[in-house]
Structure 1
Amino acid sequence: MPQVSFAHPSLCLNFLPLLHRLLPSNPPTVRDVDVPPLFRERFILTGYRPTGMSWRCYALSLFQIHNETLNVWSHLLAAAFVVLRFMVFAIMRGGGPEGEGFSVDASSLPLVLYVLSAVTYLSCSAAAHLLQSHSEQAHYSLFFLDYVGVAVYQYGCALALCLYSSNTAWRQSMLGQVFLPAAALLAWLSCTACCYAKLRFRRPYPLHRKLCQLIPMGVAYLVDISPVAHRLATHSWTGSPALPLHFLQVVLFMLSAFFFSCPVPERFYPGRFDIVGHGHQLFHILLSLCTLAQQEALFHDFLWRRPAMVREFGEERLLLACASFPCLTLCCALTALAMRRQAQAQLMKEQR
């Protein structure tokens, strides 16, 4: 029986070297003692990528097994799911009766900004963990970008929770009256404090570095979650499908904060959880689940509140509240750029 050839042998031979050039194999990972102290994590002994390689190598390390692989993929997959879930929600709930369902207008803009903020923080985090080993300058710049993403997400949450998840009693309270300006200020302070702590302290990090990060972020979270906390405390959970989801996202956030603060379980078994299972990976996974639960809760609250939103808040007030979102983003980005210049000057001074 004659054999059928699907490709000329010479074409295959020419294609393989091209494929090898386009997708080069990355060098193997190294131990902690083989990378500068800036790139080391406590109790993580192996799985580090060598520094000083090309950007393409770090981009391709997305498909390599190292101690940042799960950090990157957990947030990349969460970002993709946030976008896909929002698209499904917009399609399934679009075109309903007037004042119900989803359509792009002043009442739905805070929900769009929330989704944008979630994708921003997840993407910035994934990029920072994927590319930060390139150089010390890249390490600082990318994590400053990561902190901008966190601040943007904090304010995106605050905006959506204030407009969709709050009740009248909370909005009329003293905190409710100053909520959005306070949330914006705390988001910017969180970004600034995290950037400062990253730039100011060197490994081994002292305890007050962690406190410098956690205190502003903790206060910001307590303020941002106050509309939900008040509603959880004053309403029956059986009356709204959003409330159990809000409670779930609070629990997931508290668990993620624990693993962000404490290097467990790797503290007790150094080297055993280098690739899978160390505390920062658990923090990433729990925070991703927290975001997904919060998004589902906001979908329910959006459908609950939307018919009366424009009448209750006024279209101009809604648009003004949404306009504060890019202003906060710009302030955080300028802060990160200023910190980046200081980091660059500090590195140049150390190299002299």
Structure 2
Amino acid sequence: MSVEKPRFLKFRHEVPAHLRFNKYVLYYYRPITDWWGCLASLLYIHNETVNILTHALPPFIIFYYLPTMLPWDQLDTIPILPYLHVISCLSPWIGSTLYHLFMSHNSGLTTYKQLLAMDMFGIWVAQNCGTLPCVTAATYCFPPAWRYFTLMTFVIGSFFSCYKAVTAKSPWQRRFSFLFPFLFRLIIVILRVSKIARGSPKAMPHLLLQDVVAVVGGALGAWNIPERWYPGQFDLCLNSHNIMHVLVVYAAYEMHQAVSYDLLWISALNHGTQHC
């Protein structure tokens, strides 16, 4: 099936206001079109192609490796945690792919906001459901009252973070809406390093890397590096959003590694082969 090459839009004067979020990407914007036109854009190269593909591929990889993604036969932990982890690994890519694929739909700002909220919700699920197993492991040896207090604090703060993420009005508000889970993970890491909290020692490097990599990607996206130095030269590839997409995929892999080690550590506690 062939698709007629579209007339690409230029940033100035042609791109709708709600799509003007990077003034250093100057060309190769898709024309405003219907649902089929958005889907057909998968068949030609434009300035969202890299963003779509980098987040459309991970779900297929996850489903392929799902039987061996976790050591299912070795896990003896809170039953819901492994499944929450799988959901957290899948959710950001689905929302992000739909957002980037259909953002040029001709229904305009209303549909764009709905797609953006879906994208933010997927990231929220990854950030919070992905953090919960590590918080559980860190507090597993706490006295019950402190353990449940810490977990409830995290859950309540997570729902507030969700509200802020899906109602954010600007890119900076969207970034700061995820400050709570980031700070909570930072506190957990500090408590684990100081031996106040527990968890698998093997998980620690991955806990650190997942946030360092994500923060670097977020900073590049916020500062529009490298395209702010060479406007129009990175329209199709290697602009800040492309780089951020790749880095957050790697950050999610590090999250997966950390959770895998912590779930095995909790299982070892329950089997009596590990002790608080």
TM norm structure 1: 0.67
Distance in 1 separating the partners of 2:27 and 2:195:
49
Counterpart amino acid of residue 43 in structure 1: Y
Distance in 2 separating the partners of 1:46 and 1:115:
37
Distance in 1 separating the partners of 2:144 and 2:179:
21
1:316 matched residue in structure 2: none
Distance in 1 separating the partners of 2:171 and 2:145:
31
1:193 matched residue in structure 2: 164
Residue 142 of structure 1: how far off its partner (Å): 0.4
Q: Which segments of 5 or more consecutive residues in structure 1 lack a partner in the other structure? A: 1-18, 96-100, 199-208, 312-352
Distance in 2 separating the partners of 1:174 and 1:149:
31
Distance in 1 separating the partners of 2:79 and 2:271:
10
**CA pair 140-197 structure 1, distance change in 2 beyond 3 A:** same
2:241 matched residue in structure 1: 280
Matching of residues 165-176 of structure 1 within 5 Å: 166=138, 171=142
2:27 matched residue in structure 1: 46
For 2:168, what is the secondary structure of its paired residue?
helix
Aligned match of 2:136 in 142, 163, 168? Answer: 163
Asked if the contact 1:162/1:227 (under 8 Å) is kept, the reply is: yes
1:143 matched residue in structure 2: 116
Question: Is 2:270 the counterpart of 1:306?
Answer: no
Aligned match of 2:58 in 59, 78, 83? Answer: 78
2:88 matched residue in structure 1: 117
Please say which structure displays the higher CA radius of gyration.
Answer: 1
Residue 277 of structure 1: how far off its partner (Å): 1.4
Counterpart amino acid of residue 157 in structure 1: G
For 2:81, what is the secondary structure of its paired residue?
helix
Asked if the contact 2:11/2:23 (under 8 Å) is kept, the reply is: no
1:337 matched residue in structure 2: none
Matching of residues 164-243 of structure 1 within 5 Å: 164=137, 166=138, 171=142, 177-198=148-169, 209-234=170-195, 240-243=201-204
Alignment RMSD, CA only? 2.8
For 1:186, what is the secondary structure of its paired residue?
helix
TM norm structure 2: 0.83
**CA pair 178-59 structure 1, distance change in 2 beyond 3 A:** farther
What do residues 1-50 of structure 1 show as CA deviations (whole Å, max 9, x unaligned)? xxxxxxxxxxxxxxxxxx45xxx335242211322111122211011111
For 1:264, what is the secondary structure of its paired residue?
coil
Matching of residues 272-351 of structure 1 within 5 Å: 272-309=233-270
Asked if the contact 1:158/1:183 (under 8 Å) is kept, the reply is: no
Percent identity over the alignment? 23
Counterpart amino acid of residue 45 in structure 2: I
Distance in 2 separating the partners of 1:229 and 1:60:
48
Counterpart amino acid of residue 46 in structure 1: Y
Asked if the contact 2:124/2:165 (under 8 Å) is kept, the reply is: no
Counterpart amino acid of residue 187 in structure 1: S
What do residues 186-223 of structure 1 show as CA deviations (whole Å, max 9, x unaligned)? 3333333344333xxxxxxxxxx444333331233111
Counterpart amino acid of residue 152 in structure 1: V
Q: Which segments of 5 or more consecutive residues in structure 2 lack a partner in the other structure? A: none
1:56 matched residue in structure 2: 36
Residue 295 of structure 1: how far off its partner (Å): 0.3
